[in-house]
Chain A
Amino acid sequence: MINGKDLKPQDISKPVKQLTKIDKLMDLPAPYDKPGMEPELTEPKEEWAEKFCASLDGYIGLDTFETPKTKEEKEELVKKFLSGLEKMLSDETNRSIIQPLMLSLDYCAKCHTCSEACHIYAATDGNELYRPIFRSDILRRIVKKYFTKSGKLFGSLVGADIDLTWETVARLGELAYRCNLCRRCAQTCPLGLDNGVLAREIRKIFSQEMGIAPKPLHEKGTMLQLKTGSSTGITKPAFLDIIEFLEEDIEEKTGWNIKIPIDKKGADILLTHNAGEFMAWPENPIAFAILFEKAGINYTLSSDLIGYDNVNYGIWYDDAQAKKVAMQQFEAAKRLGVNKIVIAECGHAHKAAAVSADRMTTSDNKIPVESFLPMLAEIIKSGKLKLDPSKNNFPVTLHDPCNVVRQMGIVQPQREIIKAVCPQFREMTPHGVDNYCCGGGSGFAIMNSMNFGEFRNKVSTRMKFKQILDAFQDTIEDSSIPKYVCAPCSNCKGAIRDILEFYEVTAKFNVHYGGLVELVVNALADLEKPFLEFLHDDEA
């Protein structure tokens, strides 16, 4: 095993059982600066390491990739990877990304400016494996060796010095799932290059050519969504049952009889939720229903296939899956005859529908897409909602989902909303377009096979945990004061939920998490008892 600090790109092919391990993590602020406050890192189980690829850093993200046993299987793996690389580099098979891809492959000056921007690199105290260009440079060297004249002619002199063995392929596949695709590194690159693009291209080769992708993203993700309508497995009848349940829940929580419109032809808006909200955080779609009812918005939900689930995991690993899902979402909206699709609290769904899908088809096949944020900000400004911010008189901080902020440029509306309803709002540092990823981005939030959850909780979310603790330093150790991390995105919320559970932050320090609309509903002046459950007397 090689010490993380000493690792070189060429080591990726080394025939060792495990290339490296994480031996030091970034320090956390108080009260997590004391020994024993966080669970220790663990070793992978022997049976996992035998069956899957744990030979990178001991963690397994590619839970569908079983290591090849025979010589033929190993050769076939390398052959398929090379075939995928060739297609990656072709403007015939990879048209939609070829220009940004070639720029990022051709021009890196290896100045390391990107390294300091990466939350995973920082969390591992500068372990070389997680340096953003470590992965990119391996890919670059392989491309150079197998696909360029200069590489074939001059070999290692021009960096064409990584031999493709099955272990190189397997480790590179795993390494593609050590990046959240948050693109913070690209923001700092003096040449405008994008390590996130390169990480996603490796994921694409595995999925599109080799048929290998994490089960939660592919088999239980896009495939299930295309078959049943939702990656949660919620079918249309189940969805309709859930909506009925939500209406009952609204009445129980608020005393208000609110009907949630379904498949209302000619409505102005199709509101789409991440279907995970219906299962894990029903208070979020409930809050939307309450606010839209109070503001008199002419909207509907859809019970059509994929119309009730706005997720699109394809944007993390596979172009065809991304397009299939996006097109079906547009079709669902078209069938209802709505004027626009409004995306609720799901960051990647924002980007998938508004940005990624924007050029997937001609304009006549699409419906305009808008975030819920400007609309809610306008509703609040209009005074249609009678608000009493004192109901939210506890410390609140805001997590900026990368997909909404850095990748869409929506920065101010969420701040206008939260400042209108939370008197003790404080920003994280840094925030806005400079924010750090929650650590759950690009699928990590739903990848829990084997020990991958540990990588997320200990490593990829570490910087976000630090930011949360920093934001609440004035009250963190006073457990009588509730604190709220507002994360207007399902995946981010899932990652933050796991942080709070893993480190027992809610139990020990009264820190809670949730969406943005819940805070707005909690501030409604005519609401009799708090909407946020942690404010109920019996919860205190």
Chain B
Amino acid sequence: MFLLILSYVSLFAFIFLSIYKAVQYGKMPMHGRLDLYPIPKEKGKGHYGGSYYEEVEWWKKPRETSLLEEIIDMLKEMLFIKKLFDNQRPLWWISYSLHLGIYLLFAWTALLFIGAITELAGLAMESGHWWAVLVYYTTFLTGTIGGLLVAFGSGALFLKRYLVPSFKKYTTVQEYFNLVFIFAVAATGLMVWTSDPGFNYGRHIAKSMLTFRPIEADAILSIHIILLGLLLIYIPLTKMSHYVGKYFSFHKVLWDNDPNLPGSEIDKKIKQAAGFKPKNNWSAPHYQPEPPKTQDM
């Protein structure tokens, strides 16, 4: 029963803590503008880095933005880590292995639940039905490739950080630990997989979670579930939660070039913020109120 509860707790903790973190960032006061071009949403101009400031009397013209261009650019970054690919190819190979592996394991997790529901509905994976075959093999492929990529990516990143002096001098013990932690989860998962290549154990866990029945696990599977559960709780507490930060740093900082025009949302926010009076102030002389002027005698 412990493993079942841990599975629930870790999954909800991952979701809740990630959302909590996003809410914390979202609640921060509106900041000054830090536009950095190219901004992909600038319709017809994003590809070369242009903006509405290229127009005469831009404030009189309708603001033309392209959500599609923004989404395309966002997907390039999310799915392929394009900036790393463009600017630092040797690191991209291993970083992308890790990230692609994680994406595949997310798909694998979803497929495990789909497989579990399929079996609970009475269609066994061994039935030979096309749906069962499809679910079985996509689960097999995503799980196998994903696990191998995560193990390779985390292991290679650890070695790169440890062996390359320019990386080593900036890496903290915690950052090594993070990579070892991910590697340990992937390695134990692969150890379980060697004795059950079809991931039947995974569907069993999913079924247990869907039906509130205890998870049956041997020693290595128990260790894997415990490590994975702890990792899911740990990730949002660390900078590995950069999937949250990345949204804000691009969408809410570098790509936030909405101008402060009369009646705009920005203008409303500034008007609301105008009433804020800080209790504390900076100490330099030019931050202090000017003394009242006395009349010369």
Contacts and interface: CB of A to CB of B under 8 A. Distances in A.
B54 interface: yes
B242 A109 contact: yes
Contacts of A413: 54
Interface in A366-407: 366, 368, 370-371, 373-375, 378, 405-407
A103 B25 contact: yes
Contact of B170 (A133, A191, A320): A133
B50 A411 contact: yes
Interface in B158-205: 166-167, 169-175
B292 interface: no
Contact of B261 (A192, A363, A374): A363
A190 B39 contact: no
B43 interface: no
A458 interface: no
Contacts of A188: 83, 86-87
A438 to B, nearest CB: 18
A116 B166 CA distance: 13
Interface in B1-47: 25, 28-39, 42, 45
Interface stretch (A287-295, A303-311, A353-361): A353-361
B293 interface: no
B56 interface: yes
Main secondary structure of the interface of A (DSSP, over half): helix
A128 B271 CA distance: 45
A507 interface: no
Interface residues of B, number: 79
A159 interface: yes
Contacts of A45: none
Contacts of B283: 80, 83-84, 208-211
A340 to B, nearest CB: 7
Size class of the A contact interface (CB-based, 8 Å) = 35 or more
Contacts of A540: none
A366 B260 CA distance: 9
A409 B45 contact: yes
A414 to B, nearest CB: 10
B88 A95 contact: no
Contacts of B83: 113, 188-190
A410 B29 contact: no
B280 A93 contact: yes
Contact of B55 (A100, A106, A374): A374
A320 B29 contact: no
A510 interface: no
A107 B245 CA distance: 7
A273 B235 CA distance: 51
A529 interface: no
B280 A102 contact: no
Interface stretch (A36-44, A150-158, A234-242): A150-158
A412 B81 CA distance: 28
A117 B88 CA distance: 11
A9 B248 CA distance: 28
26 contacts: A9-B169, A99-B31, A99-B248, A100-B34, A110-B170, A111-B91, A137-B170, A158-B172, A158-B173, A186-B36, A188-B87, A190-B83, A194-B253, A208-B284, A320-B282, A321-B286, A358-B32, A359-B260, A362-B267, A370-B56, A374-B54, A408-B51, A409-B257, A410-B51, A413-B54, A433-B38
